[in-house]
Amino acid sequence: MNFSKRNAVSAVLASLLAVTGIAYAHGDATHAKPAGPVKMEQKDWGIAGEAKSVTRTIEVTMTDKMRFTPDNIEIRQGETIRFVHRNTGQVKHEFVLGTKKDLDEHAALMKKFPNMEHDEPYMAHLGAGQTSEIVWTFNRAGQFDFACLMPGHYEAGMIGKIKVVAAKVASN
């Protein structure tokens, strides 16, 4: 293969990777949120929120002891929360919202594919000493979880609980 054909093939492959949306990997040094609109997809645990709708800010610290502080959070249905994450440790951590079933499945995938590439509005990836935030609207009542799904962290107990209390129904 001559030099120009090799360049053409490389350009096509690079274009295909760009079109598939592959942009973030756990192996990357940073995980900046992409520019543009946030993907508004309803999940069992809520939907991405808008900054102008934030009703409360909750700071969550991540440590190398494989713990979150706080690790139990209560939220009222309908609240839009700004989670501010601080990684005070020396290794990369992440904050991923979900159901236990979804987090278990995602953790199993992370074991098989530790460099799996993804970025969703319900997750934040932080290197040592970094701060990040997500805004999430909890529009469904229930028990949900958050976890660090970096290989080994979930298994070590880096998990938290969120209880979303149902909004009171007005009586007639």
Sheet holding 67-69: strands in order across?
A: 47-48, 131-137, 80-87, 56-63, 67-69
Question: Does 126 fall in a domain?
Answer: yes
Question: Does 171 fall in a domain?
Answer: no
Question: Does 172 fall in a domain?
Answer: no
Q: Given pLDDT bands bounded at 50, 70 and 90, which one contains residue 38?
A: low
pLDDT tens-place string over residues 54-96:
999 999 999 999 999 999 999 999 999 999 999 999 999 999 9
Those residues with Cβ within 8 angstroms of residue 149's Cβ, 6 or more apart along the chain or in another chain: 94, 96, 103, 106, 107, 110
pLDDT tens-place string over residues 136-167:
999 999 999 999 999 899 999 999 999 999 98
**Three-state secondary-structure class, residue 153:** coil
Q: What is the pLDDT of residue 167?
A: 83
**Three-state secondary-structure class, residue 51:** helix
Question: Does 170 fall in a domain?
Answer: no
Give the total number of structural domains in the chain.
1
- Distance CA(166)–CA(142), nearest Å, equals 8
Question: Does 9 fall in a domain?
Answer: yes
Question: Does 41 fall in a domain?
Answer: yes
Q: What is the pLDDT of residue 109?
A: 87
